[in-house]
Amino acid sequence: MKLAEVELRRVRMPMVTPFRTSFGTQASRDVLLVKVVTPDGEGWGECVALDEPVYSSEYVEGAHHVLRTHLLPRLLDAPDVTATSVGPLLRAVKGHRMAKAAVEAAVLDAELRAGGVSLARYLGGVRGAVDVGVSIGIAASVGQLLDSIEGYLADGYRRVKLKIEPGWDVEPLTQVRRRFGDIALWVDANAAYTLADVDHLARLDELGLQLLEQPLPEDDLAGHAELAQRITTPICLDESITSAGSAAEAIARGACAVVNVKAGRVGGYLEALRIHDVCAARSVPVWCGGMLETGIGRAANVALATLPNFTLPGDISASDRYYATDLTEPFVLHDGRLRVPDGPGIGVAPLPDVLSRLTTSVERIGPS
Protein backbone atom coordinates (compact mmCIF):
# COMPACT_ATOMS: atom_id res chain seq x y z
CA MET A 1 0.00 0.00 0.00
CA LYS A 2 0.99 3.61 -0.47
CA LEU A 3 0.42 5.75 2.63
CA ALA A 4 -1.68 8.81 1.76
CA GLU A 5 -1.40 10.51 5.16
CA VAL A 6 -0.52 9.80 8.78
CA GLU A 7 -2.30 11.43 11.69
CA LEU A 8 -0.51 11.97 15.02
CA ARG A 9 -3.08 12.57 17.71
CA ARG A 10 -2.57 13.26 21.42
CA VAL A 11 -5.25 12.17 23.85
CA ARG A 12 -5.49 12.97 27.57
CA MET A 13 -6.68 9.91 29.49
CA PRO A 14 -7.49 10.57 33.19
CA MET A 15 -6.81 7.47 35.28
CA VAL A 16 -9.23 5.94 37.79
CA THR A 17 -6.45 5.82 40.40
CA PRO A 18 -2.87 7.15 40.24
CA PHE A 19 -0.21 4.51 39.45
CA ARG A 20 2.94 4.68 41.61
CA THR A 21 6.21 2.93 40.81
CA SER A 22 9.81 3.37 41.96
CA PHE A 23 10.19 6.10 39.32
CA GLY A 24 7.16 8.21 40.08
CA THR A 25 3.40 8.59 40.18
CA GLN A 26 1.18 8.92 37.13
CA ALA A 27 -2.42 10.25 37.40
CA SER A 28 -3.24 10.50 33.71
CA ARG A 29 -1.78 9.32 30.41
CA ASP A 30 -0.81 11.64 27.55
CA VAL A 31 -1.34 9.05 24.80
CA LEU A 32 0.04 9.40 21.27
CA LEU A 33 -2.13 7.65 18.66
CA VAL A 34 -1.04 6.99 15.10
CA LYS A 35 -3.61 6.66 12.33
CA VAL A 36 -2.44 5.70 8.85
CA VAL A 37 -4.64 6.52 5.87
CA THR A 38 -4.27 4.39 2.73
CA PRO A 39 -6.37 3.92 -0.43
CA ASP A 40 -7.52 0.60 1.08
CA GLY A 41 -8.60 2.08 4.44
CA GLU A 42 -7.24 3.20 7.80
CA GLY A 43 -5.33 1.61 10.65
CA TRP A 44 -4.62 2.56 14.27
CA GLY A 45 -1.60 2.20 16.54
CA GLU A 46 -0.87 3.41 20.08
CA CYS A 47 2.52 4.62 21.28
CA VAL A 48 3.30 3.42 24.82
CA ALA A 49 5.94 6.05 25.63
CA LEU A 50 5.28 7.79 28.97
CA ASP A 51 5.35 11.56 29.65
CA GLU A 52 8.89 11.29 31.00
CA PRO A 53 11.86 9.08 30.06
CA VAL A 54 11.75 7.14 33.35
CA TYR A 55 10.74 3.60 32.29
CA SER A 56 13.06 3.69 29.27
CA SER A 57 14.79 6.50 27.41
CA GLU A 58 11.72 7.21 25.27
CA TYR A 59 9.03 9.76 26.20
CA VAL A 60 5.90 10.91 24.42
CA GLU A 61 7.11 14.28 23.14
CA GLY A 62 10.29 12.65 21.84
CA ALA A 63 8.33 9.87 20.14
CA HIS A 64 6.06 12.45 18.51
CA HIS A 65 9.08 14.39 17.28
CA VAL A 66 10.98 11.41 15.88
CA LEU A 67 7.84 10.17 14.10
CA ARG A 68 7.19 13.57 12.52
CA THR A 69 10.77 14.32 11.61
CA HIS A 70 12.58 11.04 10.97
CA LEU A 71 10.22 8.07 10.72
CA LEU A 72 7.09 9.15 8.85
CA PRO A 73 8.96 10.84 5.96
CA ARG A 74 10.73 7.51 5.27
CA LEU A 75 7.38 5.74 5.06
CA LEU A 76 5.38 8.46 3.29
CA ASP A 77 7.99 8.71 0.52
CA ALA A 78 8.11 4.94 -0.06
CA PRO A 79 6.08 3.67 -3.06
CA ASP A 80 4.86 0.63 -1.16
CA VAL A 81 4.59 0.07 2.61
CA THR A 82 3.52 -3.12 4.33
CA ALA A 83 3.87 -4.10 7.98
CA THR A 84 6.87 -6.28 7.18
CA SER A 85 8.60 -3.48 5.25
CA VAL A 86 8.23 -0.87 8.02
CA GLY A 87 11.19 -2.29 9.98
CA PRO A 88 13.57 -2.30 6.97
CA LEU A 89 12.41 1.19 5.85
CA LEU A 90 13.14 2.57 9.34
CA ARG A 91 16.35 0.62 10.00
CA ALA A 92 18.63 3.64 9.45
CA VAL A 93 17.09 5.33 12.50
CA LYS A 94 18.64 3.93 15.69
CA GLY A 95 16.51 3.09 18.71
CA HIS A 96 13.10 4.78 19.20
CA ARG A 97 11.41 1.40 19.38
CA MET A 98 8.17 2.67 20.93
CA ALA A 99 7.73 5.22 18.15
CA LYS A 100 8.53 2.61 15.48
CA ALA A 101 6.18 0.08 17.09
CA ALA A 102 3.26 2.53 17.03
CA VAL A 103 3.47 3.21 13.30
CA GLU A 104 4.15 -0.44 12.45
CA ALA A 105 1.03 -1.38 14.44
CA ALA A 106 -1.06 1.16 12.52
CA VAL A 107 0.20 -0.14 9.15
CA LEU A 108 -0.44 -3.73 10.24
CA ASP A 109 -3.97 -2.84 11.38
CA ALA A 110 -4.72 -1.14 8.03
CA GLU A 111 -3.32 -4.08 6.08
CA LEU A 112 -5.26 -6.70 8.06
CA ARG A 113 -8.50 -4.70 7.96
CA ALA A 114 -8.18 -4.41 4.19
CA GLY A 115 -7.57 -8.16 3.98
CA GLY A 116 -10.32 -9.11 6.44
CA VAL A 117 -7.93 -10.93 8.82
CA SER A 118 -7.79 -10.48 12.60
CA LEU A 119 -4.44 -9.65 14.24
CA ALA A 120 -4.73 -12.74 16.46
CA ARG A 121 -5.16 -15.01 13.44
CA TYR A 122 -2.32 -13.30 11.56
CA LEU A 123 0.08 -13.75 14.48
CA GLY A 124 -0.86 -17.41 14.94
CA GLY A 125 -3.10 -17.21 17.99
CA VAL A 126 -4.52 -20.38 19.47
CA ARG A 127 -7.22 -19.18 21.91
CA GLY A 128 -10.33 -17.01 21.89
CA ALA A 129 -9.80 -15.43 25.30
CA VAL A 130 -6.71 -14.63 27.38
CA ASP A 131 -6.01 -14.96 31.11
CA VAL A 132 -5.31 -11.65 32.76
CA GLY A 133 -3.75 -10.37 35.95
CA VAL A 134 -3.53 -6.97 37.58
CA SER A 135 -0.50 -4.80 38.29
CA ILE A 136 -0.78 -2.78 41.50
CA GLY A 137 1.37 0.27 42.22
CA ILE A 138 3.12 1.12 45.46
CA ALA A 139 0.41 2.00 47.99
CA ALA A 140 0.27 4.70 50.67
CA SER A 141 -0.11 2.04 53.39
CA VAL A 142 -0.31 -1.74 53.80
CA GLY A 143 -3.99 -1.37 54.69
CA GLN A 144 -4.73 0.38 51.40
CA LEU A 145 -2.75 -2.25 49.51
CA LEU A 146 -4.75 -5.08 51.11
CA ASP A 147 -8.04 -3.33 50.32
CA SER A 148 -7.14 -2.84 46.68
CA ILE A 149 -6.01 -6.47 46.29
CA GLU A 150 -9.30 -7.62 47.83
CA GLY A 151 -11.21 -5.61 45.23
CA TYR A 152 -9.21 -6.98 42.26
CA LEU A 153 -9.53 -10.57 43.49
CA ALA A 154 -13.29 -10.04 43.75
CA ASP A 155 -13.24 -8.77 40.14
CA GLY A 156 -11.72 -12.13 39.14
CA TYR A 157 -8.12 -11.25 38.22
CA ARG A 158 -6.07 -14.44 37.94
CA ARG A 159 -2.89 -13.15 39.56
CA VAL A 160 -1.65 -10.08 41.36
CA LYS A 161 1.61 -8.28 40.49
CA LEU A 162 2.86 -5.81 43.08
CA LYS A 163 5.34 -3.04 42.41
CA ILE A 164 8.17 -3.18 44.95
CA GLU A 165 11.16 -0.99 45.84
CA PRO A 166 13.65 -0.88 48.73
CA GLY A 167 11.52 -0.13 51.81
CA TRP A 168 8.34 -1.57 50.25
CA ASP A 169 8.88 -5.27 49.77
CA VAL A 170 9.20 -8.01 52.43
CA GLU A 171 6.87 -6.39 54.95
CA PRO A 172 3.85 -5.65 52.73
CA LEU A 173 4.35 -8.97 50.91
CA THR A 174 4.30 -10.86 54.22
CA GLN A 175 1.02 -9.13 55.11
CA VAL A 176 -0.42 -9.99 51.68
CA ARG A 177 0.41 -13.69 52.18
CA ARG A 178 -1.05 -13.62 55.70
CA ARG A 179 -4.31 -12.13 54.42
CA PHE A 180 -4.81 -13.84 51.05
CA GLY A 181 -2.97 -17.18 51.43
CA ASP A 182 -1.56 -18.81 48.31
CA ILE A 183 -2.87 -16.46 45.59
CA ALA A 184 -0.73 -16.24 42.45
CA LEU A 185 1.62 -13.42 43.49
CA TRP A 186 4.32 -11.70 41.37
CA VAL A 187 6.50 -8.67 42.07
CA ASP A 188 8.02 -6.06 39.74
CA ALA A 189 10.95 -3.88 40.87
CA ASN A 190 11.41 -1.78 37.70
CA ALA A 191 15.18 -1.95 38.25
CA ALA A 192 15.06 -0.43 41.74
CA TYR A 193 17.69 -2.76 43.32
CA THR A 194 21.39 -3.50 42.82
CA LEU A 195 23.43 -6.65 43.29
CA ALA A 196 24.41 -5.26 46.71
CA ASP A 197 20.81 -6.08 47.72
CA VAL A 198 21.21 -9.81 47.03
CA ASP A 199 20.84 -10.92 50.67
CA HIS A 200 17.75 -8.77 51.04
CA LEU A 201 16.23 -10.10 47.78
CA ALA A 202 16.92 -13.66 49.01
CA ARG A 203 14.39 -12.97 51.78
CA LEU A 204 11.70 -12.95 49.08
CA ASP A 205 12.34 -16.67 48.53
CA GLU A 206 10.25 -17.74 51.51
CA LEU A 207 7.23 -15.81 50.18
CA GLY A 208 6.50 -18.26 47.36
CA LEU A 209 6.45 -15.64 44.59
CA GLN A 210 5.94 -16.99 41.07
CA LEU A 211 8.37 -14.42 39.69
CA LEU A 212 10.51 -11.37 40.42
CA GLU A 213 10.45 -8.95 37.47
CA GLN A 214 13.42 -6.75 36.53
CA PRO A 215 15.12 -6.38 39.92
CA LEU A 216 18.32 -4.80 38.50
CA PRO A 217 19.16 -2.14 35.91
CA GLU A 218 18.27 -2.70 32.26
CA ASP A 219 21.86 -3.17 31.06
CA ASP A 220 22.90 -5.57 33.84
CA LEU A 221 22.40 -9.05 32.34
CA ALA A 222 25.48 -10.29 34.23
CA GLY A 223 23.97 -9.09 37.50
CA HIS A 224 20.68 -10.85 36.80
CA ALA A 225 22.57 -14.06 35.96
CA GLU A 226 24.48 -13.83 39.24
CA LEU A 227 21.31 -13.05 41.21
CA ALA A 228 19.56 -16.05 39.61
CA GLN A 229 22.30 -18.27 41.10
CA ARG A 230 21.73 -16.82 44.56
CA ILE A 231 17.94 -16.81 44.94
CA THR A 232 15.24 -19.38 44.19
CA THR A 233 12.49 -16.97 43.04
CA PRO A 234 12.35 -17.14 39.22
CA ILE A 235 13.61 -13.96 37.54
CA CYS A 236 11.58 -12.38 34.73
CA LEU A 237 13.06 -9.63 32.56
CA ASP A 238 11.12 -6.64 31.21
CA GLU A 239 13.26 -3.52 30.53
CA SER A 240 16.36 -5.61 29.63
CA ILE A 241 14.67 -7.37 26.69
CA THR A 242 14.68 -5.03 23.68
CA SER A 243 14.81 -7.54 20.78
CA ALA A 244 14.74 -11.23 19.91
CA GLY A 245 18.54 -11.14 20.01
CA SER A 246 18.66 -9.74 23.54
CA ALA A 247 16.07 -12.31 24.65
CA ALA A 248 18.23 -15.14 23.27
CA GLU A 249 21.29 -13.70 25.00
CA ALA A 250 19.54 -13.22 28.36
CA ILE A 251 18.32 -16.82 28.28
CA ALA A 252 21.72 -18.20 27.22
CA ARG A 253 23.42 -16.34 30.08
CA GLY A 254 20.93 -17.62 32.64
CA ALA A 255 19.68 -14.10 33.40
CA CYS A 256 15.98 -14.99 33.30
CA ALA A 257 13.56 -17.92 33.46
CA VAL A 258 10.54 -15.96 32.17
CA VAL A 259 10.15 -13.07 29.70
CA ASN A 260 7.71 -10.15 29.76
CA VAL A 261 6.87 -9.23 26.14
CA LYS A 262 5.82 -5.64 25.38
CA ALA A 263 5.58 -4.84 21.68
CA GLY A 264 6.35 -1.14 22.26
CA ARG A 265 9.56 -1.89 24.17
CA VAL A 266 10.89 -4.16 21.39
CA GLY A 267 9.91 -2.11 18.31
CA GLY A 268 6.65 -3.75 17.28
CA TYR A 269 4.34 -6.76 17.18
CA LEU A 270 6.48 -8.50 14.57
CA GLU A 271 9.57 -8.39 16.82
CA ALA A 272 7.33 -9.44 19.75
CA LEU A 273 6.35 -12.50 17.69
CA ARG A 274 10.04 -13.31 17.10
CA ILE A 275 10.68 -13.06 20.87
CA HIS A 276 7.75 -15.40 21.46
CA ASP A 277 9.35 -17.89 19.07
CA VAL A 278 12.87 -17.57 20.53
CA CYS A 279 11.51 -18.17 24.04
CA ALA A 280 9.26 -21.05 22.94
CA ALA A 281 12.22 -22.79 21.29
CA ARG A 282 14.09 -22.58 24.62
CA SER A 283 11.07 -23.58 26.78
CA VAL A 284 10.97 -20.15 28.44
CA PRO A 285 7.38 -19.05 29.12
CA VAL A 286 6.32 -15.52 28.21
CA TRP A 287 3.48 -13.20 29.17
CA CYS A 288 2.19 -9.94 27.76
CA GLY A 289 3.27 -6.82 29.64
CA GLY A 290 1.32 -3.58 29.75
CA MET A 291 1.88 0.17 29.68
CA LEU A 292 -1.59 1.33 30.75
CA GLU A 293 -2.81 1.23 27.16
CA THR A 294 -6.15 2.52 25.91
CA GLY A 295 -8.42 0.09 24.07
CA ILE A 296 -6.31 0.53 20.92
CA GLY A 297 -3.08 -0.81 22.43
CA ARG A 298 -4.99 -3.21 24.69
CA ALA A 299 -6.71 -4.87 21.71
CA ALA A 300 -3.36 -5.55 20.05
CA ASN A 301 -1.95 -6.92 23.32
CA VAL A 302 -4.93 -9.26 23.69
CA ALA A 303 -4.24 -10.58 20.17
CA LEU A 304 -0.53 -11.09 20.97
CA ALA A 305 -1.38 -12.98 24.16
CA THR A 306 -3.29 -15.62 22.15
CA LEU A 307 0.03 -17.10 20.93
CA PRO A 308 0.79 -20.56 22.32
CA ASN A 309 3.80 -19.70 24.53
CA PHE A 310 1.91 -16.90 26.35
CA THR A 311 1.17 -19.34 29.16
CA LEU A 312 1.09 -16.86 32.06
CA PRO A 313 -1.59 -14.19 32.72
CA GLY A 314 -0.73 -10.82 31.17
CA ASP A 315 -0.76 -7.23 32.49
CA ILE A 316 -3.80 -6.74 30.26
CA SER A 317 -6.44 -5.67 32.73
CA ALA A 318 -10.00 -4.69 31.87
CA SER A 319 -10.47 -1.11 30.63
CA ASP A 320 -12.10 -0.03 33.91
CA ARG A 321 -9.00 -0.92 35.96
CA TYR A 322 -7.38 2.20 34.45
CA TYR A 323 -10.02 4.32 32.69
CA ALA A 324 -13.63 5.25 33.49
CA THR A 325 -14.13 5.88 29.76
CA ASP A 326 -11.97 4.00 27.27
CA LEU A 327 -11.37 5.22 23.72
CA THR A 328 -12.93 2.03 22.32
CA GLU A 329 -15.73 -0.25 23.39
CA PRO A 330 -14.40 -1.28 26.82
CA PHE A 331 -12.62 -4.58 27.45
CA VAL A 332 -14.57 -6.38 30.18
CA LEU A 333 -13.41 -9.21 32.44
CA HIS A 334 -15.25 -12.54 32.08
CA ASP A 335 -14.10 -15.08 34.67
CA GLY A 336 -10.62 -13.54 34.78
CA ARG A 337 -10.24 -13.42 31.00
CA LEU A 338 -10.62 -10.93 28.17
CA ARG A 339 -12.21 -12.07 24.93
CA VAL A 340 -10.26 -11.57 21.73
CA PRO A 341 -12.00 -9.25 19.25
CA ASP A 342 -12.73 -11.25 16.09
CA GLY A 343 -13.10 -8.39 13.61
CA PRO A 344 -10.32 -7.64 11.11
CA GLY A 345 -7.11 -6.01 12.32
CA ILE A 346 -7.15 -5.20 16.03
CA GLY A 347 -10.95 -5.52 15.87
CA VAL A 348 -11.75 -2.22 17.57
CA ALA A 349 -11.51 1.48 16.71
CA PRO A 350 -11.86 4.69 18.71
CA LEU A 351 -15.42 5.80 19.46
CA PRO A 352 -15.61 9.11 17.53
CA ASP A 353 -17.34 11.15 20.25
CA VAL A 354 -15.04 9.93 23.04
CA LEU A 355 -11.99 10.44 20.85
CA SER A 356 -12.87 14.03 19.96
CA ARG A 357 -13.72 14.88 23.59
CA LEU A 358 -10.35 13.62 24.89
CA THR A 359 -8.14 14.83 22.03
CA THR A 360 -5.69 17.62 22.88
CA SER A 361 -4.00 17.97 19.45
CA VAL A 362 -4.08 16.54 15.93
CA GLU A 363 -1.30 16.77 13.34
CA ARG A 364 -1.61 15.42 9.79
CA ILE A 365 1.50 14.58 7.80
CA GLY A 366 1.52 13.78 4.08
CA PRO A 367 4.15 12.89 1.48
CA SER A 368 6.85 15.54 0.99
Report if residue 31 touches ligand NPQ, rule: CB under 6 A.
no
Report if residue 58 touches ligand NPQ, rule: CB under 6 A.
no
Single out the residue of 200, 198, 199, 204 nearest to residue 220, CA to CA: 198
Is 262 a known active-site residue? yes
Out of 104, 109, 131, 188, name the contact with Mg ion by CB under 5 A.
Answer: 188
Is 35 a known active-site residue? no
Q: Looking at beta carbons only, is 44 or 55 nearer to Mg ion?
A: 55
Q: Looking at beta carbons only, is 24 or 95 nearer to ligand NPQ?
A: 24
Q: How many chain residues are in contact with Mg ion, going by CB under 5 A?
A: 3
Please name the helix (run of DSSP H) or strand (run of DSSP E) that holds residue 179, with its range, or none: helix 170-180
**Binding letters toward Mg ion, positions 230-249, x by CB under 5 A:** --------x-----------
CB of 138 to ligand NPQ, least distance (A): 10
Pairing of strands 185-188, 211-213: parallel
Alpha-carbon gap, residue 233 to 176, rounded angstroms = 17
> Cα-flanking dihedrals φ and ψ of residue 27, to 5°?
-110, -10
Report if residue 291 touches ligand NPQ, rule: CB under 6 A.
yes
In DSSP terms, 7 is beta-bridged to 35, 364
Q: Looking at beta carbons only, is 190 or 309 nearer to ligand NPQ?
A: 190
**What residues from 147 to 176 belong to the interface with ligand NPQ (CB under 6 A)?**
none
Give CA separation, 163 vs 74, 257, 283, 346, in Å: 39, 19, 26, 29
Percent helix, percent strand, percent coil in the chain, to nearest 5:
40, 25, 40
Q: Looking at beta carbons only, is 17 or 82 nearer to ligand NPQ?
A: 17
Q: Measure the CA dihedral 222/227/228/229, to 10°.
A: 100
Taking the CA of residue 314 as centre, how many other CA atoms within 13 Å lie in the half-sphere pointing to its CB? 32
Report if residue 315 touches ligand NPQ, rule: CB under 6 A.
yes
Report if residue 22 touches ligand NPQ, rule: CB under 6 A.
no
Contact positions vs ligand NPQ (CB under 6 A): 19, 21, 26, 29, 50, 55, 135, 188, 190, 238, 289-292, 315
Q: Which residues here bind Mg ion, judged by CB under 5 A?
A: 188, 213, 238
Residues annotated as catalytic are 163, 262
